[in-house]
Amino acid sequence: MIIEDIEIPTKQDGILLKGSLYYTNKKNSKAPFIIILPGFLEHRQSGFVKFFSEKFADAGYYVLSYDYRAHGETKTKHGYRWNKIFPLIFSDIHIVLEWIIECQSKRLLEDKIVLFGRSLGGAIVLSHGFIDNRAKILIALSPRYDYHTTQIKFQEEAIKKISPHNFLKKDPRNGNRILIAHCKDDNRIPFQNLIQIQDHLELNDKNVVKFDNGGHSFKGHREEIFKYFLEFLKKL
């Protein structure tokens, strides 16, 4: 396993998003990329992120995880308060996708890029990720549907820019593009969010993974759910 430190410039404001690129030792070989998006106040060294970064890399993918603005090492370098720049945390995914296509063309196989996120990361996947066609497959775990429902209150203008319900649309391609998962005992983002997303998109049950327990982190189910992911990724 090789872990390569990378920096992704945001260009418009000079922020460098700190990231890690995981892959196995295969020189000059091409493969799809998976971008892993952490949860709120987590970062690329968090246990959940590292677990799936290593699992997907072992399965033959290039895996990129990065620290959002005001998170992880990016926070250390730049020190922005997350609540002031929350919409930019979401829209930065377009910059990351562009960076892969422009700077990793020798590694990227046929423009195949997957977005994989949990919690906040899942909301990014189903908002700005949904509207960016460069993301071929979207996998969202425990995503929030509407940011009106958070304990922390955001301004209405910010909510419009981050809530998946403002971005998601019914599309025949969704069946081959979107996989969502949630645990019924999630005490951070209620299971009802999954129901709302499934209804909004009219997703078939085959695109939805449900567990009775496991909480917000899918405790006890990570190996099992990883098999669902690998099967769904065959659609790439």
CATH number for 86: 3.40.50.1820
The answer to whether 222 and 191 have CB atoms below 8 angstroms apart is no
Q: Give the span between the Cα atoms of 179 and 182, in whole angstroms.
A: 11
Find the largest Cα–Cα distance for the chain. Answer: 48
Give the number of other CB atoms < 10 A from CB of residue 25. Answer: 7
Residue identified by tokens 């990720």 is 129
> Structurally, how many domains does the chain consist of?
1
Closest CA to 2 of 43, 42, 53, 37: 53
**Helix, coil or strand: residue 210:** strand
Closest CA to 88 of 149, 16, 10: 10
Q: Give the span between the Cα atoms of 145 and 162, in whole angstroms.
A: 10
pLDDT given at position 81 = 63
Which amino acid appears at position 65 of this protein?
S
Whole-prediction pTM: 0.94
What are the per-10-residue average pLDDT scores of the chain (236 residues)?
Answer: 95 89 84 95 86 97 94 68 79 98 96 98 98 99 92 80 96 98 97 98 98 96 97 96
pLDDT given at position 85 = 83
The answer to whether 101 and 134 have CB atoms below 8 angstroms apart is yes
pLDDT in tens, 45-103: 888 999 999 999 999 999 999 999 887 788 766 656 655 688 999 999 999 999 999 99
Q: Give the span between the Cα atoms of 56 and 82, in whole angstroms.
A: 29
Range of the domain at 183: 2-235
Q: Give the span between the Cα atoms of 126 and 166, in whole angstroms.
A: 10
